[in-house]
Structure 1
Amino acid sequence: MNFYIVIPAHNEADSIGLTLESLAKQTLLPKRVVVVNDHSTDETQSIVESFISKYHWISQVNVVSSDKHLPGSKIINAFYKGYDTLDDDYDVICKFDADLIFPNTYLETISQHFSSSPTLGMAAGFCYIEKNNDWILEDLTNKDHIRGALKAYRKQCFLDIGKLKPAMGWDTIDELLAKFYHWNILTDDNLHVKHLKPTGASYNKSSKYMQGEAMYKMRYGFTITAISAFKLAMKKKNLSLFNDYMSGYFKAKNNNVQPLVSPEQGNFIRKLRWKGMLKKFGI
């Protein structure tokens, strides 16, 4: 099974070498890895070049963009700069972050999951962060959700969902659309990936309003948005974020921002969200 991997990287000199080293040690090597050096001002480029000299399947694309570290469009636009350099000879396309250390059997295990289930569209392990000299689960979302840091898509699923949306919330929209097109999603508890930088640690402050905007673009509606915003603020142990998320939602609504999904897909998403929430209450 051919794995193609695209890694957007903005000032990742402290970690990109560790990520590439872990990929070079895989029991199933990727066929192509493209690092997109997105406007880095540190040693990211030279570190990647040192790996290119040793591994023919690693390449690099240097792009110039904003130096603000924002989730969503910046990351996905960088992803496409790398994706556009690849051919179509892949079975699985991955979008990985530049601050991950993968266990040696990661790609082989993901490949086995895809091979054993033709309806499996997306698969991944879990991110772990270091705390008090121990590696613990980065518990920001439900365990059936694949984190944006380590996405792997079967080729047909990737094409069916219209690839990745260049907006905040892309890593939720992809799963919702995968389910809309009847693909299954799998998370493997046994695959522990070290995440060297906690999610959002370096995001620009304005990104906090983008979460609510993303919920509007996914056609959640007010009630589901309010519930989701509250749960996320609780997860992050900062209730003031609830106001930020809702402000972002109403700003997008008042400005008639274009949703990222069709009305039909939005209806499916709302039903899916309600089903998931009611299930937690045993209803």
Structure 2
Amino acid sequence: MKFLIIIPAHNEEDNLSFTLNSLQQQSFKDYKIVVVNDGSTDQTSEIIKKYTDQDSRFETINLQKSAHQPGSKVVNAFKNGLKTQNINEFDIICKFDADIILPENYLEIIEKSFQNNPKNGLIGGLLYIEKNGEWIYEGNSNKHHVRGPMKAYRKECFIEIGGLRETLGWDNIDSILLENLGWKEVVLPELQVKLIKVKGADYTVKESDYYGRYFYFLGLKRFLAYVASSKEAMKSKSIPFFFQIIKSYENCRSKKLELKITKDEQKIINDKRWEALKKKWLRI
């Protein structure tokens, strides 16, 4: 199977070489990499050139500078990279971040998993961060969800879900839609991916606004959005935090901001959330 790996990169001069080196050192070699230089103002383009000059599997495109917002910017960059390729020439479509280090057998194990189970639609490893000189599990999500920095889709699954949505919450929307279509999301815990940079460091949105917007663009109806907001408030042990999230969510509703999902897809997402709520909270 052949991989198409697209890597959005914005001001990643401190991290990108680690990512690209780890890809060059993969035991599995049949891949093409497109690095999307998304309006970088540092030495990112020079770093990319070192790889495109010496390795024909590496390509790049340059985009104009855009606002750095969670979700939409990175997916926009990904889509611009995808447009430059003939998707029919590949079997696996990957969206990787520019600040991760992959184990040498990452692509090999992913490819075998796709080969062994034709219903596997999305595969990835687990994220690890450095703390006190040690790499520890990031723990920011359940161990059955493939995180945004390291998504690998079977091409047929990727096409069937309509690709990635240019919105906050895209990396949960894909999981719900593919599962509804009968595909499987698989996390391989033996594949430990090192995350160099702390997520969110470049975002200009404050945390409560982030969650409010996230729940809105995920398509959650009011009741489920309020439940999700209360969960985040309990994590923070802050009642005001709950009301701040709700304020952000309701502000999006009042403005009727455009969702990047259809009405049918919104219903699927809410039904799945409701099922999870009943199972975990109500024990039904």
TM-score (norm 1): 0.93
CA pair 250-85 structure 1, distance change in 2 beyond 3 A: same
* Structure 2 equivalent of residue 47 of structure 1: 47
1:82 is paired with a residue of what secondary structure?
helix
Which residue matches 1:117?
A: 117
Q: 1:20-31 counterparts in 2 under 5 A?
A: 20-31=20-31
Match of 1:95 in 2: 95
**Tell me, which stretches of 5 or more residues in structure 1 are unaligned?**
none
CA contact (8 A) 1:71 1:207 kept: no
CA RMSD of aligned residues (A): 1.9
Please give the residue correspondences for 1:133-282 in structure 2 after superposition, counting only pairs within 5 Å.
133-205=133-205, 208-233=208-233, 241-281=241-281, 282=283
Contact 1:126 1:187 in 2 (8 A): yes
% same residue: 38
TM-score normalised per structure 2 = 0.92
SS in 1 for 2:54: coil
SS at match of 1:53: helix
By how many angstroms is 1:275 displaced?
Answer: 1.9
Classify the secondary structure of the residue corresponding to 2:122.
Answer: strand
Work out the CA distance in 1 between the residues paired with 2:11 and 2:208.
Answer: 21
Q: Residue 94 of structure 2 aligns to a residue in which SS?
A: strand
Q: Distance in 2 between matches of 1:44 and 1:239?
A: 42
Is the CA contact 1:168–1:211 (under 8 Å) kept in the aligned structure 2?
no
Q: Contact 2:37 / 2:45 at 8 angstroms: preserved in 1?
A: yes
Change (3 A) 1:161 1:99: same
Instruction: Give the 3 Å change call, closer, same or farther, for CA 81–207 of structure 1 in structure 2.
Output: farther
> Which SS does the other structure have where 2:245 is aligned?
helix
- Provide structure 2 residue ranges, at least 5 long, that are not aligned to the other structure: none
Q: Cα distance, 1:233 vs. partner?
A: 5.0
Instruction: Name the SS of the counterpart of 2:274 in structure 1.
Output: helix
- Tell me the amino acid that sits aligned with residue 2 of structure 1: K
* Residues 266 and 212 of structure 1: CA distance in aligned 2, closer, same or farther (over 3 Å): same
Q: Distance in 2 between matches of 1:224 and 1:277?
A: 9
- Kindly state the Cα deviation for residue 238 of structure 1 after the two structures are TM-superposed: 7.0
Match of 1:10 in 2: 10
In the alignment, which residue of structure 2 is the partner of 1:73?
72
